[in-house]
């Protein structure tokens, strides 16, 4: 076990959230400390993506109860952009194509808005391009992709690599990887996972949302949680992921539904 800071980075307490009047999260509790990797698994429709969207502030979701603190600050009171500045990052399950906005302009705006938030001067053009070059190498992202419009015409694998590239650029304290393994072939998976591992440190943390054990072979979790019907119903060490891979979710469903 690596060194643990005493302070929790993320503290989710009894979080309830709904979309269009339908309650999806029904009391989620989760604590994440710097240096940790948490995996959140669970069957379809259990609320995994809702959890990541609520944490990053998607306007379509309404928080109906509970609280979330991020380094002691009230995360739910912040705008999505301020959450990003404070160090929260979501790698999207379906990255959005933005025709007409080049990756360069997109990243420059993101980096400089963060700098502005912390009272820093914008990065010079040469420093910025140097940073782009450096971080591109982390996920072996082609220079051609970096000069194109955001995600436009990217393959599934390229989009996911581009997510991790953005993560490398923004150096978040907490990264949520939402189904980052979906739609990836084995080579792309290895590149993406190795990118994530390169970015890992004792000061940052990762929440990996996934259906399958596969990604966890590459990104080793410290904790595995099962989200079912809007609640975390089981938490254990990495061995739980292997058990789920073998036995599926039915035994957990049965256990919970019979309660």
Partner 1 sequence: MNALKQYIDLFEDNRAAIDAGSPAVLNAHRDAALNALRQAQLPRKGSEDYEATSLEDVLAPDYGVNVRRIAFSGDTTESFRCDVPNMSTCLYTCFNDTIVAGPNAVRNAGGVIVETFKEAAVNHPEVLAHYGSMAQLDDPTVALNTMLAQDGLLVWVPRGVIAERPIQLVNIFNSTQPLMAVRRVLVVVDDGAQARMLVCDHSQSKEVSYLASQVVEIVVGRDATFDYYDLEESSPRTHRLSTIYARQAQGSNLLIDGITLTNGLTRNNYRISVDGEHALTTLLGMTIAGDQQHVDTHSLISHNAGHCKSNEMFKYVLGDQAVGAFAGKILIKENCPRVEAYQGNRNLCASSQARMHTKPQLEIYTDDVKASHGTTIGQLDQDALYYMRTRGIGEAEARRMLMQAFMSDVIDGVRLEMLRDRLYHLVEKRFNGTLAACSTCASACGR
Q: If binding is defined by CB under 8 A, does position 104 make contact with partner 1?
A: no
User: Considering beta carbons, is residue 101 or 233 the nearer one to partner 1?
Assistant: 101
The single residue among 8, 46, 56, 206 that binds partner 1, judged by CB under 8 A, is 56
Q: If binding is defined by CB under 8 A, does position 76 make contact with partner 1?
A: no
The single residue among 74, 117, 185, 237 that binds partner 1, judged by CB under 8 A, is 117
Per residue, the 3-state secondary structure of 78-124, as one string, reads CCHHHHHHCCEEEECCCCCCEEEEEHHHHHHHHHHHHHHHCCCCCCC
The single residue among 5, 7, 109, 236 that binds partner 1, judged by CB under 8 A, is 109
Q: If binding is defined by CB under 8 A, does position 85 make contact with partner 1?
A: yes
User: Considering beta carbons, is residue 46 or 93 the nearer one to partner 1?
Assistant: 93
| Residue 142 beta carbon to partner 1: minimum distance, rounded to whole angstroms | 20
| Residue 32 beta carbon to partner 1: minimum distance, rounded to whole angstroms | 18
Contact 176, 92 (CB under 8 A): no
Q: If binding is defined by CB under 8 A, does position 70 make contact with partner 1?
A: no
User: Considering beta carbons, is residue 21 or 100 the nearer one to partner 1?
Assistant: 100
Q: If binding is defined by CB under 8 A, does position 110 make contact with partner 1?
A: yes
User: Considering beta carbons, is residue 92 or 154 the nearer one to partner 1?
Assistant: 92
Q: If binding is defined by CB under 8 A, does position 129 make contact with partner 1?
A: no
Q: C-alpha angle 126/130/136, rounded to 5°? A: 145
The single residue among 2, 20, 44, 59 that binds partner 1, judged by CB under 8 A, is 59
């Amino acid at each position: 076990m690596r060194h643990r800071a005493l302070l929790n980075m993320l503290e989710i307490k009894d979080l309830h959230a709904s979309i269009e009047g339908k309650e999806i999260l029904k009391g989620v509790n989760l604590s994440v400390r710097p240096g940790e990797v948490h995996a959140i698994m669970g069957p379809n429709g259990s609320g995994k993506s809702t959890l990541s969207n609520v944490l990053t502030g998607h306007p379509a979701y309404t928080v109906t109860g509970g609280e979330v603190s991020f380094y002691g600050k009230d995360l739910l009171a912040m705008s999505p952009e301020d959450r990003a500045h404070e160090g929260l990052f979501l790698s999207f399950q379906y990255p959005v194509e933005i025709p007409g906005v080049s990756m360069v302009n997109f990243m420059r705006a993101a980096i400089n808005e963060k700098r502005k938030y912390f009272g820093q001067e914008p990065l010079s053009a040469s420093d910025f391009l140097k940073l782009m070059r450096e971080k591109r190498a982390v996920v072996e992202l082609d220079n051609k992709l970096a000069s194109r419009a955001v995600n436009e015409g990217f393959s599934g694998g390229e989009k996911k690599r581009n997510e991790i590239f953005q993560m490398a650029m923004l150096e978040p304290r907490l990264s949520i990887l939402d189904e980052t393994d979906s739609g990836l072939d084995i080579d792309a998976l290895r590149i993406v996972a190795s990118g994530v591992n390169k970015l890992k440190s004792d000061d940052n943390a990762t929440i990996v949302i996934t259906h399958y054990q596969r990604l966890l072979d590459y990104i080793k979790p410290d904790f595995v949680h099962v989200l079912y019907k809007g609640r975390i119903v089981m938490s254990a060490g990495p061995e739980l992921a292997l058990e789920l891979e073998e036995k599926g979710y039915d035994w957990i469903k049965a256990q919970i539904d019979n309660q």
